[in-house]
Amino acid sequence: MSAITRDEVAHLARLSRLALHEDELDQLAAQLDEIISAVAKVQEVAQGDIPPTSHALPLTNVYRPDEDRPGLTPDQALAGAPAVEDQRFRVPQILGEEQ
């Protein structure tokens, strides 16, 4: 497999809208080449009879089942609020009228 070139890294950086210095291009070209080589090695080992997996170990769901529960009434939700207006939390205005 051919090594990724400095020009290809610069092209990818432009597409990604990343501003990279000249020395970073050389460094990233070497790193990306190592990554591509590692992926190629894994592809060589992978056999057609082995199913793809996302995890090495089986995962189980540890969440509880969804159940309806009673919620707070508006009065209960607003009980601890420092200021209330029209059954809503009253907060200081942060944007001016001109915006």
Along the 99 residues of the chain, how does pLDDT read in single tens digits? 568 889 999 999 999 999 999 999 999 999 999 999 888 888 887 677 777 778 878 888 888 888 999 999 999 999 999 999 999 999 988 887 665
Q: Retrieve residue 94's tokens.
A: 């942060």
Give the residue from 40, 38, 20, 37 showing the smallest Cα distance to 28.
20
- What is the number of other CB atoms lying within 10 angstroms of the CB of residue 14? 11
* Model pLDDT, residue 43: 80
* Model pLDDT, residue 15: 95
Rounded Cα distance, 54 and 43, in Å = 15
* Model pLDDT, residue 96: 75
* Model pLDDT, residue 88: 93
